[in-house]
């Protein structure tokens, strides 16, 4: 397959050119040269971008994802990290399922006010025990 300029990579991958440049700065992808002012990429960059997208969707940070992408273009994925992330997702799914079920029960609660609904009151108390994504990321050291 021929080399792709940044516009073609953006079109095929759905990743904006600005993000492609950012990924290149972070060392996640590498251009192979230029055609005029446009960066050129090997066609394999599309597979690498798919791996980055999968990592992001699974909740890996860009730094964690970078560790899984060797400079030779081949992935070096730690199976233990994949299993740990799958366990983390299972825990999140259980929490979200319980929250969804509680919301559905609160939605049909016969109390005159949600503040008088025992189910809604339990949800409010539980809200302090369910960290937001940002608080959880901060606690894990992803944000300063």
Architecture of domain 4-67: Orthogonal Bundle (1.10)
Looking at 4-13, 15-24, 32-41, 86-95, which range is the least confident one?
Answer: 32-41
List Cα–Cα distances, 19 to 5, 7, 22, 50, 93, in angstroms: 14, 12, 5, 14, 29
C-alpha neighbours within 13 Å on the C-beta side of residue 61: 13
What is the token pair recorded at 79?
Answer: 């199976």
Closest alpha carbon to 88 in 68, 70, 61: 61
Residue 139: which residues within 8 A CB-CB, separation 6 or more? 131
Residue 34: which residues within 8 A CB-CB, separation 6 or more? 40
Task: Evaluate if pTM is beyond 0.75.
Answer: no
Does the pLDDT of residue 2 top 80, yes or no? yes
Q: Output the pLDDT for position 34.
A: 87
- What is the tens place of the pLDDT at every residue in 49-92? 999 999 999 999 999 998 888 777 678 888 999 999 999 999 99
Q: Which residue has the higher pLDDT, 120 or 22?
A: 22
- What is the tens place of the pLDDT at every residue in 23-39? 999 989 988 888 888 88
């Amino acid at each position: 397959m021929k080399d792709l300029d940044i516009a073609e990579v953006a079109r095929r991958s759905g990743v904006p050119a600005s993000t492609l440049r950012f990924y290149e700065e972070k060392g996640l992808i590498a251009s192979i040269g230029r055609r005029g002012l446009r960066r050129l990429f090997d066609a394999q960059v599309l597979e690498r971008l798919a791996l980055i997208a999968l990592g992001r969707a699974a909740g890996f940070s860009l730094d964690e994802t970078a560790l899984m992408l060797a400079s030779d273009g081949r992935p070096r994925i730690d199976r233990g990290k994949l299993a740990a992330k799958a366990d983390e997702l299972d825990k999140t799914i259980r929490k979200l399922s319980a929250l969804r079920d509680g919301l559905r029960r609160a939605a049909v609660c016969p109390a005159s006010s949600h503040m008088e609904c025992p189910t809604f009151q339990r949800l409010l108390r539980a809200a302090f025990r369910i960290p937001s994504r940002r608080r959880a990321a901060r606690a894990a050291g992803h944000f300063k």
